[in-house]
Amino acid sequence: MEMTAAPPAGYTVRRPRPTDAADILEVVSAYNTRVVGYPDCTLDDIFDNMAEPGFDPETDGWLVHTEAGEAAGYAWVYGTSGADQVDIDVVADDPVLSRWLFTQATERGRVIARNSGHDHVVLDAGIYRGDQALRDLASGRGFSPSTTYHRMRVDHGAGTPEPRLPAGAVLRRGAHDEASRRTAYEVMTRSFADQEDVTVRPFKEWVEVREARPTFSWSQLSVLAVDGRPVAVCESNDQFVEDENCGYITRLGVLPGDRGKGYAKYLLSQTFAENAAAGLDGTILHVDTSNPTPALGLYLSVGMQPVLVIDVWRQVLSTN
């Protein structure tokens, strides 16, 4: 498919392929190192993004090279099926190229939402707090800060103890069949139902997303049941093992009526103990500061500390 406009002079652009993953990693890692001081990306991260169900590299990605053949920029967009919200990501050091990629991503986001039957699109761009140039670009395009994610980390010492199970509780580790996956899905969906920006995927797509990620195993999904009733869920993956030797908690949810009983703290402490026993240096997670639950305070209470700030910049546009 043709691009909506020619790239800036001195660059060539094509749609990314899986064989381009090393080039994408090169440009993303160089950008991250410039902005936050370290690569903050692995090859598995690139494959995770490209394997997202619904992502079509022929329409949703742009890989830019200089005329000398060096990777210089990358952008991609992703919209959950049927939703009006689309994520965009732009990586480039050249401000002229950044503006061009931002335009391509924005226009593609409008098309995705229009094709899903929406008269508007909610565009979200996650931007490191330290990237003033990209923040200025987003602001100049009509985006404004929507929420902030803090990357939290705790470092593990020798002999991190396993916590005591809450009274009447059983921890069901792994979700290797449809019944256990549906249980985890239901608990997760209900746990996050009161968060404004959470898009609920259909069960089939929820499974496909996880099975497409090379960093995820169904053994990393656990459900806590109390008196036989599932009340909380914890999901992890290996996204930060290669680059930081840390476990990563991707989802931690407790049913609204069961909060404040220590279930989340138990699941956190249990994951810390498992990661320490596996020889990992620490555990990482991201917390949305707009979360209506007191999540940030919970993570601080178990020894986690913020190590990176990512702001989500948002714009709502008509698709007509």
Which pLDDT score, from 0 to 100, does residue 1 have?
Answer: 43
Cα-based distances in Å from 121 to 24, 84, 137, 319: 27, 5, 19, 6
Pairwise CA distance, residues 185 & 182, whole Å: 5
Confidence of residue 292 (pLDDT cuts 50, 70, 90): low
pLDDT digits (tens, 9 = 90+) for 47-64: 988 888 788 999 999 999
What is the rounded average pLDDT for all residues in the chain?
93
Domain spanning 153-311, CATH class: alpha beta
Domain boundaries, the chain: 11-142, 153-311
Own/partner long-range contacts of 271-274 (Cβ < 8 Å, ≥24 apart): 271/234, 271/236, 271/247, 272/154, 272/156, 272/160, 272/302, 273/160, 273/161, 273/162, 273/163, 274/247
Q: What is the DSSP string of 47-63?
A: HHHHTSTT--HHHHEEE
Contact between 201 and 212 (Cβ < 8 Å): no
Q: Which two tokens stand for residue 31?
A: 């950008």
Pairwise CA distance, residues 74 & 102, whole Å: 10
Nearest-CA neighbor of 278 among 236, 242, 303, 247? Answer: 247
CATH (one of 3.40.50.300, 3.40.630.30, 3.30.310.160, 3.40.50.970) for 11-142: 3.40.630.30
DSSP 212: T
Asked whether this chain's domains 11-142 and 153-311 adopt the same fold, the reply is: yes
Nearest-CA neighbor of 315 among 194, 138, 183? Answer: 138
Confidence of residue 157 (pLDDT cuts 50, 70, 90): confident
Global pTM exceeds 0.85: yes
pLDDT digits (tens, 9 = 90+) for 93-141: 999 999 999 999 999 999 999 999 999 999 999 999 999 999 999 999 9
pLDDT digits (tens, 9 = 90+) for 166-196: 999 999 999 999 999 999 999 999 999 887 6
